[in-house]
Structure 1
């Protein structure tokens, strides 16, 4: 269930930065109050309903803090959870458990919220053929974990960053002078740079869809903030020649109707920017 951007190195770098931010020169609360040789255990208690995410990451965090901590996983990433469930237990040096606690919880609570909302929206478009995508509307320095959570919840990742795909959005098109100008300039740029990147272009009207079709040499056409009637017409115009993606203010109330327009993908920024975290707690026992 790990996407390609989840590597030993990327996880290690993330955890190192996060621990430096949180621990600094020492967890003085734990160092001062808990004997250095004290051995204890704790359990990850679920306090809300949804989809669990971040268990694998928690294992990496505990090991980074103290390689001798022992994690006993009871519920895996992607599992359905309800209030009162225990996701895992951890045993070992008490000071180490306490030092890792907040980073584990901060990551898992947000990741579980994202996975839960992704799972919910995915269920609403089941059977339509449309796939749910995330966006770049993520938390700086936490994008990797947020996109991982989308995958755990049953969604799909859009481009990871600005570098791995070309997306010509409304401002690009307007600054370039139009759809045709933006596409042709991009094609020439990629040729000059020797880069093989997919091109997606955002369209706002049927006229822009037609211009994208006439210009060609692209991979996907985004249908932005279109009514369902206009979207169905756009999909018919494109006729399967290019992938289609619906975007713009799509909610749980509208996503099914959008999917039934025949689009291949639906991107929803709210998957990562407007979710409610799942309440989790690490409790000594």
Structure 2
């Protein structure tokens, strides 16, 4: 099963995660002492919750790292919505290896599917409005590529992957530069082509646009103010609602006509879903 992401080294991730669990020298004390070296297991990974699936190819990589001859059948597609009780993966191989890799594999799938599942709920909440859901940089250090992959599996669009791919001028940048317009002018003068400017007041919109903003982030505005802001921008640049967005408030914000809504809690606060792996002697 091929799996690759830009700026993500799957082999290094698997090796580092297993090393964290196995210690130095690497050892699974329980499996070594309880399970015969030549015992074989077969098992089924299943979801106890209704979920949007994400991370099965990564789980498979953990098992293959410890048992290259493991037999794996993936039963659900990435991004697929499955009901509680659905089987996700069947596998058969060396019992010690599968037990040693089990927790790392499950942790990854539970976390990524949790993000995808929460993301799917937000996407469904704004269905039909024409507004797109964006993720943010509020990710666990070291897991950004994976977590943003999971939001895509849930139906969101990746926003900035890092500090390198666009300027985002926020209140602290404005405080240092002196004004929204001055901060934006400096970014444009530096040759930056994508300039996202956060505004939290209506009177900041025209100065930001005049100075060269290519995208406006409308921060912590309620639906009425968002609607006014969208009218002022009048399609000159994309608009993004952000700040304090919940499942209860997102549709009203989407219906104001904003181009995007960004939600940090997709990666910051998504709960892990309940996925298990039950083994039996092969």
Structure 2 length as normaliser, TM-score? 0.93
CA apart distance, 1:186: 1.5
1:15 Cα deviation from its structure 2 partner: 1.5
Match of 1:6, SS state, is coil
Q: Distance in 2 between matches of 1:165 and 1:12?
A: 29
In the alignment, the residues of structure 1 paired with residue 112 and residue 137 of structure 2 have an alpha-carbon distance, to the nearest angstrom, of: 16
Any conservation in 2 of the 1:164–1:197 contact (CA below 8 Å)?
A: no
Aligned to 1:250: 245
Instruction: Within 5 Å, give how 1:114-263 maps onto structure 2.
Output: 114-189=115-190, 191=191, 197-216=193-212, 218-263=213-258
2:76 corresponds in structure 1 to: 75
Q: Give the C-alpha shift of residue 102 in structure 1.
A: 0.6
* Corresponding residue SS for 1:282: strand
- Report if the CA contact (8 A) 2:51-2:84 is conserved: no
Q: How far apart in 2 are the matches of 1:128 and 1:9?
A: 33
Matches of 2:246 and 2:104, distance apart in 1: 31
Q: Give the equivalent residue in structure 1 for 2:9.
A: 10
- TM-score of the superposition, structure 1-length normalised? 0.92
Q: Which range moves more in the overlay, 145-154 or 5-14?
A: 5-14
The answer to which of 108-117 and 72-81 deviates more is 72-81
Q: Unaligned 5+ residue runs, structure 2?
A: none
Cα distance 1:135–1:7, how it changes in 2: closer, same or farther (>3 A)? closer
Q: Gaps spanning 5+ residues in structure 1: where?
A: none
SS, match of residue 26 in structure 1: coil
Alignment root-mean-square deviation, CA = 1.8
Equivalences, count: 277
